Amino acid sequence: MVDVDHALRSSVRALQRDVTNVQEMTFRVINDVGVVNGQVAAVGAAQQLTRDELANLTNEFTTFVRRAERTANVQRAETRVGNLESRIEFDFGRYDKVRRTAAGLVRAFDSGLVKQESVETATDLLMIENPKYWLAPAAVSLGAWSGGDSVLCDQAIEAAYGLAPARTALLFALILRRQRRMPSSVIWLRHYLRNLDPMALSREFAVVLESVAQGAFGAGGRQLIHESVNGWLAKLADDEDAHAAQVKRWRFEVESYRPGGAAASFERLKQHSPQWPELEEVLRGAETHKPFHDHYSALIAAEYHASERIEDSVDDILDILVDEFDTEELPLRRELAYERAVIEFEGDLDRAREKADTHTAALGDTLDYLTVQTSAALHPADIGVSPATQQVALASCVEWVDRAHSGFSMDYRSKYPAEVEVEFQEQQPIGSSVFTLPRWSGSLTNTPMNELEGSLAAHWDAASAPLLASLRFDLGKALIKPGILAAIVLVLGVAINPAFGIVAAGALFGIAYLRAAGRQKAAEALRAQVETTIKGMKAKSLEDLRGAGAEYTDYQTRYRAADAEEPRVRTLIAQFADLGHDKTPHEGRTMREEGLKA
């Protein structure tokens, strides 16, 4: 019996070792499977993060390349601007001397302090140095006129007229007006206007606008100009393409007052609303009204007083005429305007070209009458007129400005989203697991905030429940196999030695229980940690949801306030029509006429 008992005890101990080994192997396999699952999940999360980082890197690289290209565009434009300015100065700078001399001759007639010999010498030298510039023979004719040499005066006038007939006619119309020789002045003016094509006006016609604003030609000249202009307007009334071109220029002008983005004021709305790009553009459109109104209300309110002396007014207009760009200079001026636009828009060639095409309409070789008016109203310096003339020109632009502004307002209002949504979607590694929050969306325009919060909270709970459940340790399930093994040991042990069988089975089950309880404790700790993390993420989502709702309320208030400025702008545009009256102290004044011929 002793040998049998000893053999039985040896078998039980061997069986116990085998059971222990099997149990440990089982635990290791279970742990390894869990580790592999966690690693697979971690790899999946890492792949998603890698894809996101790669997308961000691609965007950053694209932004960097675009920024580098724009920087290079600006650098090239700065070089070209310097070269163009130097070329203009080299090719046309010599004309400044002619301009100064011609203006000086006119003023010298008043003082009588210049010798006729000096005048003739100066004008002859100008003619020798600049034979193809119209103002050189015009200056010779002035010198001959002051010296009483009618033959040379006529020859010089013919030479100047052959080079630039329109400018020459205007020059002598203004000079005769300055000398108070009204009949001769009006004859020159009529000769100038009779042959004009309203679809192809020379650039010096801007001087006519200036003359109207200053009252330089008196009542007779003003009436002559108004008759011509009214005929042109009737001729151009049905030219929709010409009118559409002016509306387009004014539309660009309106949009130039569009402010920058508003993302800094609505960060949560930008982050969580798919409609944010449309909302931002709509707000920028609405906030265009006020700066546009402020600029043009100040412009029409400004008062420009013409000189009390007709000579001073005509001198100012003469300066505009003689300082006008030469036709040969215009291509370089257009190119210069484009390069400056490239610098202004920080290398954005598309925006620069758009601005240049609109802005350099005033730098065309010929302009239609409608373009002249728009250019005088938008860019008076480019076309060579004063702010006073700019005011008068605005009166002719009322219809175009109104159409451009109305179309602009209609366009941004039509882009207001019918429904503004918020959405939340996340994927984030948590320990060895990956938590995924499927996309949730709700309507800020149609759903109360308390319902949105309840829906989002329920969505978080439903999405996190499977993960939390998977982290819960089932103690009963973990003890099934150890229990079966303990039962086998108990049955076999009791058959041999009841006391030993009970002790062996109890020891086996006790060891398994302690190990399972340790694993349960670790699992519950991990589960509590994951649950705390998810609760924090959920709380942040709810906070962001409330923040986005509050920001949308602020957005609506800001948008309505900005959009309410639109009627004020329409009222202001209607007031442009009141500017169509000559603001001059010379209106109605009776001027002494000497009755001399030109």
Cα(30)–Cα(43) distance, integer angstroms: 20
Contact 73, 353 (CB under 8 A): no
**What is the overall mean pLDDT for the chain?**
78
d(CA 163, CA 158): 9
Query: What tens digit of pLDDT does each residue of 481-531 get?
Result: 777 776 776 677 667 777 766 777 677 777 777 777 777 777 777 777 777
What is the Cα–Cα distance from 372 to 171, expressed in whole angstroms?
A: 19
Contact yes or no for 292/257 (Cβ under 8 A): yes
Is the per-residue pLDDT at 62 higher than 50? yes
Per-range mean pLDDT, top range of 39-43, 122-126, 209-213, 555-559: 555-559
Other CB atoms within 10 A of residue 496 CB: 15
Mean local confidence (pLDDT), 89-115 = 71
pLDDT band at 587 (very low <50, low <70, confident <90, very high): very low
Q: What is the pLDDT of residue 52?
A: 60
- Cα–Cα distance list, 283 to 44, 100, 304, 569 (Å): 41, 51, 36, 17
Query: Residue 371's pLDDT is what?
Result: 86
Q: HEC string of 302-371?
A: CCCCCCCCHHHHHHHHHHHHHHCCCHHHHHHHHHHHHHHHHHHCCCCHHHHHHHHHHHHHHHCCEECHHH
User: What is the reported pTM?
Assistant: 0.64
More confident: 22 or 475: 475
CA distances from 239 to 231, 244, 378, 401 (A): 14, 9, 21, 17
The answer, yes or no, to whether residue 30 has pLDDT greater than 60, is no
| DSSP annotation string for 150-177 | HHHHHHHHHHHHHH-HHHHHHHHHHHHH
Q: What per-residue confidence (pLDDT) applies to 442?
A: 94
> Angle between the 449-470 and 498-563 helix axes, to the nearest 10 degrees?
150
pLDDT at 592 over 60: no
SS3 content of the chain, % helix, strand, coil (to 5): 80, 5, 20
3-class SS of residue 148: coil
3-state secondary structure 261-285: CCHHHCHHHHHHCCCHHHHHHHHHH
From residue 18, alpha-carbon distances to 25, 26, 32, 50, 139 in Å are 10, 12, 20, 46, 123
| More confidently predicted of 152 and 354 | 152
Neighbouring CB atoms inside 10 A of 293's CB total 19
Both structure tokens of 565: 């400025």
- Give the distance, in angstroms, between the CA of residue 212 and the centroid of all CA atoms in the same chain: 37
Residues in the chain: 598
More confident residue, 193 or 383: 193
Nearest of 331, 320, 322 to residue 91 by alpha carbon: 331
Band of pLDDT at residue 104, cut at 50, 70 and 90: confident
Tens digits of per-residue pLDDT, 424-447? Answer: 988 777 766 678 888 999 999 999
Residue 421 pLDDT level (bands cut at 50, 70, 90): very high
- What are the tens digits of pLDDT across the range 140-187? 888 888 788 889 988 998 998 888 888 888 888 888 887 778 888 888
* Residue 243 to residue 246: CA distance in whole angstroms: 5
- The phi, psi pair for 596, rounded to 5°, reads -85, 155
